[in-house]
């Protein structure tokens, strides 16, 4: 781990982050939407396996990013749980709609990404495919692209068929579902997956990326990211 940005030693909000982490991207968007600026950003280099170092294991025994420490803690982990925590602590702008049915839809769309697709392509899974199952790079990419496509297809089917879909995933305000949808679209780009067959997903992702909270949170705009898209 290496120390990142600090504000006068007043460490009230600490975000454990890595530029490429899509789950951390989701939390960065939520922080930006809520106007919360972390006092410290602690870089955990996933490409160097630093998530498994003792220093980070003590923070999050699951050895996954993101992790967030708000004031005296305890540490918060799992991107959806962190985002809902932020939403409850800072209610404006709301990231979940008001009605139970609408909230369920937004959470379900979010979980297509965060529970059913993204976990299948993270470093620990890619490493297992490579080192334990001995799959070559072509087979590993086939795996990743398959699960990216499954989620994009599920999102597109729901979004294009539902009268609840508006400018964003649910109506005309940004919700948790949009945050997750954008992380899926950005992840697809990382693996050169063409999102053209999913026009509703693409339209909403493009619209979100015009918003400063999303644009500033983009993985390629974080410290340590490569220059090129
Ligand atoms: N379900 C978790 C996923 C967390 C996760 O897998 N994070 C990735 C980075 S996006 C990670 O830290 N991977 C480390 C590893 O796989 O070893 C969440 O949404 O927070």
Span 109-134, pLDDT tens digits: 999 999 999 999 999 999 999 999 99
Alpha carbon 121 to chain centroid, angstroms: 13
Q: Is 121 close to ligand 1, i.e. is its CB under 6 Å away?
A: no
H helices of 6-136, where? 22-34, 54-57, 79-89, 100-114, 123-131
Whole-number Å distance, alpha carbon 122 to ligand 1 midpoint, is 6
Separation CA 223–CA 63 (nearest Å): 21
**What are the CA-CA distances from residue 176 to residues 26, 102, 125, 179, 196 (Å)?**
9, 12, 25, 5, 23
For ligand 1, whether the C-beta of 123 sits within 6 Å is: yes
Whether the CB-CB separation of 66 and 79 falls below 8 Å is answered with yes
User: To 5 degrees, how large is the angle CA 215–CA 114–CA 181?
Assistant: 40
pLDDT of residue 19: 97
- The pLDDT tens digits of the residues spanning 167-192 come to 999 999 999 999 999 999 999 999 99
Q: What is the pLDDT confidence band of residue 3, given thresholds at 50, 70 and 90?
A: very low
Average pLDDT of the residues of the chain: 94
**Residue owning the nearest CA to atom 13 of ligand 1:** 64
Give the count of alpha carbons within 13 A of 223, CB side only. 11
Query: Residue 52 CA: which ligand 1 atom is closest?
Result: 17
Could you tell me the distance, in angstroms and rounded to a whole number, from the CA of residue 159 to the centre of ligand 1? 26
Read off the tokens for 49. 């396996």
**Is the CB of residue 219 below 6 angstroms from any atom belonging to ligand 1?**
no
Q: Ligand 1 centre and the CA of 17: distance in Å? A: 10
- Say if ligand 1 is within 6 A of residue 111 CB: no
Per the structure block, which two tokens stand in for 71?
């004031």
* DSSP class of 39: S
Q: What is the pLDDT of residues 199-217, one digit of tens each?
A: 999 999 999 999 999 999 9
Report the residue among 23, 76, 81, 114 best suited for mutation to probe ligand 1: largest number of ligand atoms under 8 A from its CB. 23
The CA-atom distances, in angstroms, between 126 and each of 135, 137, 163, 198 are 9, 10, 37, 25
Compute, in angstroms, the gap from residue 149 CA to the centroid of ligand 1.
Answer: 19
Q: Which atom in ligand 1 lies closest to the alpha carbon of residue 49?
A: 17
Q: Which atom of ligand 1 is nearest to the CA of 26?
A: 19
- pLDDT at residue 155 is higher than 70: yes
Tens digit of each residue's pLDDT (9 = 90 or more) over 32-82 = 999 999 999 999 999 999 999 999 999 999 999 999 999 988 999 999 999
- Rounded to two decimals, the pTM is 0.94
**Residue 4's pLDDT is what?**
43
């Amino acid at each position: 781990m290496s120390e990142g940005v600090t504000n006068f030693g007043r460490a009230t909000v600490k975000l454990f982050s890595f530029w490429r982490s899509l789950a951390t991207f989701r939390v960065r968007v939520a922080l930006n939407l809520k106007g919360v600026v972390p006092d410290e950003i602690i870089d955990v280099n996933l490409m160097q396996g630093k998530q498994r170092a003792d220093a980070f294991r003590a923070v999050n025994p699951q050895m996954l990013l993101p992790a967030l420490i708000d004031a005296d803690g305890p540490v918060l982990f799992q991107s959806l749980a962190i985002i809902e925590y932020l939403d409850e602590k800072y209610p404006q702008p709301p990231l979940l709609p008001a009605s139970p049915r609408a909230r369920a839809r937004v959470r379900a769309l979010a979980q297509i990404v965060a529970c059913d697709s993204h976990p299948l392509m993270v470093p620990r899974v890619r490493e297992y495919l490579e080192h334990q199952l001995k799959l070559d790079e072509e087979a590993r990419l086939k795996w990743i692209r398959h699960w990216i496509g499954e989620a994009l297809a599920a999102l597109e089917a729901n979004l294009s068929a539902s009268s609840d879909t508006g400018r964003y995933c649910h109506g005309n305000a940004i919700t948790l579902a949009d945050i997750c949808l954008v992380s899926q679209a950005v992840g697809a780009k990382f693996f050169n997956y063409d999102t053209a067959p999913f026009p509703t997903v693409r339209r909403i992702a493009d619209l979100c990326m015009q918003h400063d909270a999303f644009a500033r949170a983009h993985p390629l705009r974080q410290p340590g990211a490569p220059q090129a898209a």
